[in-house]
Amino acid sequence: MLSLPISKQDERPLVDQIVAGVCRQIQDRRLRTGAKLPSIRSFAKLHDVSRFTVVEAYDRLVAMGYLRSRRGDGFYATAHGLAPDREYSSTERTHNEDLVWLVRRLLEADGSMILAGGPWLPNAWLNEVGIRQTLNALARKSGAYLVEYGNPYGYLPLREHLAVMLGEIGISAAPSQIVLTDGTSRALELVIRQLLAPGDAALVDDPGYYNLFGNLRLSNVQMLGVPRNTDGPDLPSLERLAAEHRPKVYFTQSVMQNPTSTDMSSHVSFKVLQIAERYGFYVVEDDIFSDLQTKHTPRLAALDQLDRVIYARSFSKTLSGSLRVGFLACSQQLANDFADVKMLTSITSSQVTERLIHLMLVDGHYRKYLGRLRQRLEESRANVVRAFERAGLELFVEPQDGMFLWARFSQIEDSMALAERAMSEGILLAPGHVFRPHLERSPWMRFNIAVCDDRRVQQWLERTAADSTVKSAVSAPA
């Protein structure tokens, strides 16, 4: 049985102690290649630490190459760990461990785990039948599209249709100003590669999109967090940071922002564009939830007409997470630059999936499906808001659209401890600190409306609110 010298009085975090201890045992050959480590539950019991702590440590060791994970069979020591003389300081790490942990838990969750903080709609809500029908129709079409590379900018008929769709929300873009990508995350990565160099500063929403933050950390970009108010970014903070740091880009979501579900007011939108003009930075508008909106809110790209705004969007939230099709709309010069970066990093995107998305958009079925989806979200939102109020949760805003609630228990100051407790009971929460650019602790949590309409989640929240032991334990300072 693996036993490590772990002390809660040590100033180092428990996770760091576990990682260092296992690394040392592998380097000293006390843990031989192929040796099986204790299960997460057994390790936690032996060393009197939480399972959440062990999961994070094991995940970090896998990423470092010291352990290999066999799904359903545990963790094994490898011979390919990092060189023993290599030291990793807290400032050298990318600090993406918590994000990797959350995303991995979301992607690997089985049917027993309730993804209360998850980023996507339940599979049962999506149009799998329609996708299958469109796949069959596409397969019957002749041509070499199944085997050939596509256009660097993406499938032209889809770009032409997207230009029409953008026109419906007031954004004027020629097909040549649209570059198709493998989803929104890939679109944002192209922007980072083209416009930002290591050490450059970029403005981001605080709280905001954690995958973007992870990507910026990997690129060694300095993140400047702009506090998010109920009507959009805090304008004095935005102007102060722009004046002090001269950032090159501001990444934001003007509509149904993730995680707060707030919309930027018209007044704030105009001010954001004025500040961008004054200090010379681009605004990247991530509108991935666009198709979930029932009311119309002016986009920054519509107000700016793609002069200083770069508009990003995809269909992963409404159609399928497996059909990785997104796009960037921007000035012609930037579109040319992004297409060049795309060719250098991935040659091109999938013409097959682009043709599939195009067929689904033009046959008229997608609009009807969206109508049903929005109605279902509206009904669930009303149910969940009432349930959260009964459980005593505080809402940042009560959103009119979208799929998230940003909420907290007033007596809890650090939602990470609550997320740990929830996971042990089969509920995966999304604690607020992963949505902050520098991972500061937060009492807030993101909740998925579609999943939280499940009575099991609501009962768990009610029990948590009523549990005075949990209140005192979870709200205690870390």
CA atoms within 13 A on the CB side of 82: 13
Mean pLDDT, rounded, of the chain: 89
Q: What is the mean pLDDT of residues 98-102?
A: 73
Longest dimension (CA), the chain: 69
The span from the CA of 232 to the CA of 65, in Å, is 42
Question: Residue 248 pLDDT > 70, yes or no?
Answer: yes
β-pair type (232-233, 74-77): unpaired
Q: What is the mean pLDDT of residues 125-130?
A: 93
Question: Residue 473 pLDDT > 50, yes or no?
Answer: no
pTM of the complete model: 0.80
- Alpha-helix runs per DSSP H in 347-414: 351-362, 365-391
Q: What is the mean pLDDT of residues 117-125?
A: 94
The reported pLDDT for the residue numbered 281 is 98
Question: Residue 440 pLDDT > 80, yes or no?
Answer: yes
Phi, psi of 341 (to 5 degrees): -65, -40
Q: What is the mean pLDDT of residues 183-210?
A: 96
The domain ranges of the chain are 14-93, 100-121+371-475, 128-363
The span from the CA of 129 to the CA of 464, in Å, is 39
Task: State the CATH architecture for 14-93.
Answer: Orthogonal Bundle (1.10)
Encode pLDDT of 68-87 as tens digits.
Answer: 887 678 888 886 544 333 33
Structure tokens, 161: 């249709």
β-pair type (309-314, 326-329): antiparallel
Domain 128-363 has CATH 3.40.640.10: yes
Those residues with Cβ within 8 angstroms of residue 19's Cβ, 6 or more apart along the chain or in another chain: 57, 60, 61, 64
Whether the CB-CB separation of 190 and 342 falls below 8 Å is answered with: yes
The span from the CA of 238 to the CA of 224, in Å, is 9
Question: Residue 375 pLDDT > 90, yes or no?
Answer: yes
The reported pLDDT for the residue numbered 420 is 85
Give bridge partners of residue 255 from the DSSP assignment: none
The reported pLDDT for the residue numbered 107 is 78
Whether the CB-CB separation of 244 and 212 falls below 8 Å is answered with: no
Encode pLDDT of 223-247 as tens digits.
Answer: 999 999 999 999 999 999 999 999 9
Q: What is the mean pLDDT of residues 40-49?
A: 90
Q: What is the mean pLDDT of residues 105-113?
A: 78
The reported pLDDT for the residue numbered 332 is 98
**What is the domain class of 100-121+371-475 according to CATH?**
alpha beta
Give bridge partners of residue 408 from the DSSP assignment: 394
- Comparing 94-98, 194-198, 432-436, the range with the smallest average pLDDT is 94-98
Structure tokens, 218: 């990997």
Residue whose C-alpha is closest to residue 403's, from 205, 211, 258: 258
